[in-house]
Amino acid sequence: MTDDELQTLIEDATADYALAETDLALEKLARATAAAPESFEAWHALAEVNFSLRRLDPALAAAERAHALQPGDLFINTTLSRIWMERGDKPKAEHFGAQAKIQSWKEQLKNPAEPTKTGL
């Protein structure tokens, strides 16, 4: 599967999910993760769809795969925080929430807002 085909499959799955075609979305994301097990985007999408369906075990498994691929990603840390909170593990939720906050700060430091003009 080419990168473009993979991206199209993930986007199609996202659209299916938005149209309440959850089984079809999950099937496409399963194909995407099987074809490209190193695809962070596929694993993260699979985690989010499963989480929204309150399928916490598959959501956690997919989120952990995505996290292993990009542990410094703000969004996967946020997803893991939400999953752990829903599972009732506040310390783990707080850990990943803190990691997400740290990533957010790092992004802000990399891309600081331009200084505002005071008119002087």
Residue 114, pLDDT score? 54
Q: Where are the domains of the chain?
A: 3-110
pLDDT < 70 stretches in the chain:
113-120
Cα separation values, 68 from 75, 76, 79, Å = 13, 10, 13
**CATH node for 3-110:** 1.25.40.10
Task: Give the pLDDT of residue 108.
Answer: 79
Residue corresponding to tokens 């990603």? 73
The residues, ordered by sequence, that sit 6+ positions from 17 with a Cβ below 8 Å of its Cβ are: 25, 49, 52
pLDDT of residue 81: 96
> pTM for the whole thing?
0.82
H/E element holding 95? helix 90-110
Q: What single-letter amino acid sits at 59? A: A
Q: Is 42:29 a contact under the CB 8 Å cutoff?
A: yes
How far is 52 from 48, CA to CA, in rounded Å? 6
